[in-house]
């Protein structure tokens, strides 16, 4: 018997309605679903069909996850591994796929909305602004997982662009140290979003490099939070902005000729 396909689906940041239409449709026809219950809202399972085999992976090892998926692929045409955010970002995607490849199980990936994007949306912020920054870096600080050479926060922060810092809310002292070593001032704006897009649970904390650690401590935010440092933070309230050329009347592109009046 040809095994079914294991679909690794990004469930998005928390709001079940932020799963993609393709991801929702796969959930709706799945014979079995393994979801990351510590991070994915159970509400994302609302579209699962009657009789679907559902399991929570929060207490499973990689070997147990692989065995479950391989076993279910032998019984069902469509098996869904439902992961938080986007599977390509801190999703252990490759180590999850390799055992499936070795077992001859077909694999496909459906992207999802990252918590970085959901955090910017929640706070109505932009990662990029003309003549301020045109670059966004997704990174983390060193904890139990070391950082490769050349990827310390100090080295990345030296670019003075937008930094979306994952998995680091309990390491804000390292975030502060890295940014300060890179020359960021004490009053540099900082943004922390806890459980971005989760209905009734989302919290937004705005501060500066000097204050954000204490603010998060006072708010009791110790998990599932995105830390953003960016020279573009707060631009919504700036009186003067360099505007995008795309919408500039004096700028010609293939859909519109420049106007001189």
Question: Any alpha helices (H) in 74-148, and if so which ranges?
Answer: 93-102, 115-123
Q: Worst-scoring range by mean pLDDT, 95-104, 125-134, 161-170, 244-253?
A: 244-253
The residue among 135, 172, 170 whose CA lies nearest residue 153 is 172
CATH topology of domain 115-237: 3.30.950
Closest by CA position to 245, among listed 253, 236, 255: 253
Segment 173-195, tens digit of pLDDT: 999 999 999 999 999 999 999 99
How high is the pLDDT of residue 250? 64
What CATH fold (topology level) applies to the domain 5-110? Answer: Cobalt-precorrin-4 Transmethylase; domain 1 (3.40.1010)
Distance from C-alpha of 243 to C-alpha of 238, rounded to nearest angstrom: 12
Helix (H, G, I), strand (E, B) or coil at 77: coil
CB neighbour list of residue 86: distance below 8 Å, 6 or more residues apart: 10, 111, 112, 113, 114
Q: What is the pTM of this model?
A: 0.91
Task: Please report the pLDDT score of residue 184 as a whole number.
Answer: 98
Separation of alpha carbons 176 and 186, rounded Å:
9
Q: Where are the domains of the chain?
A: 5-110, 115-237
Q: What is the predicted pLDDT for the residue at 251?
A: 67
- Model confidence at 143, in pLDDT bands (50, 70, 90)? confident
Element (H, E) at 34: strand 32-35
Question: What CA–CA distance (Å, rounded) separates 235 from 252?
Answer: 26
Answer whether residue 256 shows pLDDT above 80: no
């Amino acid at each position: 018997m040809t095994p079914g396909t294991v679909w690794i689906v990004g469930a998005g940041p928390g709001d079940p309605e932020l799963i993609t239409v393709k991801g929702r449709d796969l959930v709706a026809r799945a014979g079995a679903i393994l979801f990351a219950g510590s991070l994915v809202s159970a509400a994302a399972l609302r579209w699962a069909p009657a009789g679907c085999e559902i399991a929570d992976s929060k207490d499973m090892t990689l070997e147990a996850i692989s065995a479950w998926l391989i076993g279910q692929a032998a019984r069902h045409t469509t098996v869904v591994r439902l992961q938080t955010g986007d599977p390509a970002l801190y999703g252990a995607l490759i180590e999850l796929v390799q055992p499936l490849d070795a077992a001859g199980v077909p694999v496909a990936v459906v992207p999802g909305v990252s918590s970085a994007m959901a955090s910017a949306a929640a706070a109505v912020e932009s990662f990029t602004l003309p003549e301020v920054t045109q670059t966004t870096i997704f990174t983390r600080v060193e904890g139990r997982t070391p950082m490769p050479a050349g990827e310390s926060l100090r080295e990345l922060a030296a670019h003075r662009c937008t930094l979306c810092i994952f998995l680091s809310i309990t390491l804000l002292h390292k975030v502060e140290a890295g940014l300060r070593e890179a020359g960021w001032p004490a009053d540099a704006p900082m943004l922390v979003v806890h459980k971005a897009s989760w209905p009734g649970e989302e919290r937004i904390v705005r501060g500066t490099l000097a204050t954000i650690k204490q603010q998060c401590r006072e708010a009791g935010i110790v998990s599932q939070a995105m830390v953003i440092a960016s020279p573009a933070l707060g631009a919504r309230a700036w009186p003067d902005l360099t505007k995008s050329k795309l919408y500039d009347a004096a700028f010609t592109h293939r859909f519109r000729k420049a106007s001189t009046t």
